[in-house]
C-alpha cells in the first residue's frame, strides 16, 4: 500500500483506477492526470518510481481533494440554505435538489439531505400559538359581554 496525501492506494490496481480512491477524483480526472504524466494504461501503483510518485503528489497537491473539498461543498450548501434559494430550501426540507421525482424514489435524497433540527423551535412557537389560542377563546366571550353590557 502506498500512502499519498493521507490516502492509501492499493498496489495491485492500475494508477488510473487507484486514483479514484481520492474523494474528488473520478475516472475522467484520473485518466487526465495519467495522460498529463504520460503513464500508460496498465501501469500499476507498485511499479511507480520515486520520481513518478513525486510528480503525482505535486499534481495532487494543486487540486482541492478530500476534506477540503467536502468542506467547500458543505459551505456551498450552507450558503444556499442561508440565502433561501430553491436549492437551499430543497436541502433544508430533505428533498431531491436536482429535479428528481418525489412521488416515489426520494428515499436516498431524504437520507442524504437530512439536516440537524433544533428542538428549540417548539419553545419559540409555543407562546405565540398560546396567545392566538387565548384570543380565539376570549374573543367570542368579549363580544357577548359587549352585547349584554
pLDDT reported for residue 139: 53
Question: pLDDT tens, position by position, for the chain (149 residues)?
Answer: 889 989 999 999 999 999 999 999 999 999 999 999 999 999 999 999 999 999 999 999 999 999 999 999 999 999 999 999 999 999 888 888 998 888 887 777 777 776 665 555 544 455 555 555 555 555 555 555 555 55
Phi, psi angle pair for 105, to nearest 5°: 65, 30
Of 65, 66, 33, nearest to 52 by C-alpha is: 33
Domains 2-63 and 67-112 share a fold: no
| CATH class assigned to 2-63 | mainly alpha
pLDDT reported for residue 107: 77
Domain ranges of the chain: 2-63, 67-112, 118-149
Fold of 67-112: 30s ribosomal protein s13; domain 2 (4.10.910)
* Alpha-helix runs per DSSP H in 21-106: 27-36, 50-61, 66-82, 86-93
Amino acid at each position: 500500500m502506498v500512502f499519498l496525501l493521507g490516502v492509501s492506494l492499493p498496489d495491485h490496481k492500475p494508477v488510473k483506477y487507484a486514483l479514484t480512491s481520492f474523494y474528488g477524483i473520478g475516472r475522467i480526472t484520473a485518466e487526465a492526470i495519467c495522460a498529463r504524466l504520460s503513464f500508460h494504461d496498465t501501469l500499476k501503483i507498485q511499479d511507480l518510481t520515486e520520481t513518478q510518485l513525486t510528480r503525482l503528489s505535486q499534481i495532487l497537491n494543486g487540486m482541492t481533494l478530500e476534506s477540503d473539498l467536502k468542506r467547500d461543498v458543505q459551505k456551498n450548501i450552507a450558503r444556499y440554505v442561508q440565502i433561501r434559494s430553491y436549492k437551499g430550501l430543497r436541502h433544508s426540507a430533505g428533498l431531491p435538489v436536482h429535479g428528481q421525482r418525489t412521488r416515489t424514489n426520494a428515499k436516498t435524497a431524504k437520507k442524504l439531505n437530512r439536516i440537524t433540527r433544533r428542538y428549540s423551535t417548539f419553545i419559540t412557537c409555543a407562546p405565540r400559538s398560546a396567545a392566538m389560542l387565548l384570543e380565539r377563546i376570549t374573543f367570542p366571550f368579549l363580544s357577548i359581554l359587549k352585547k349584554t353590557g
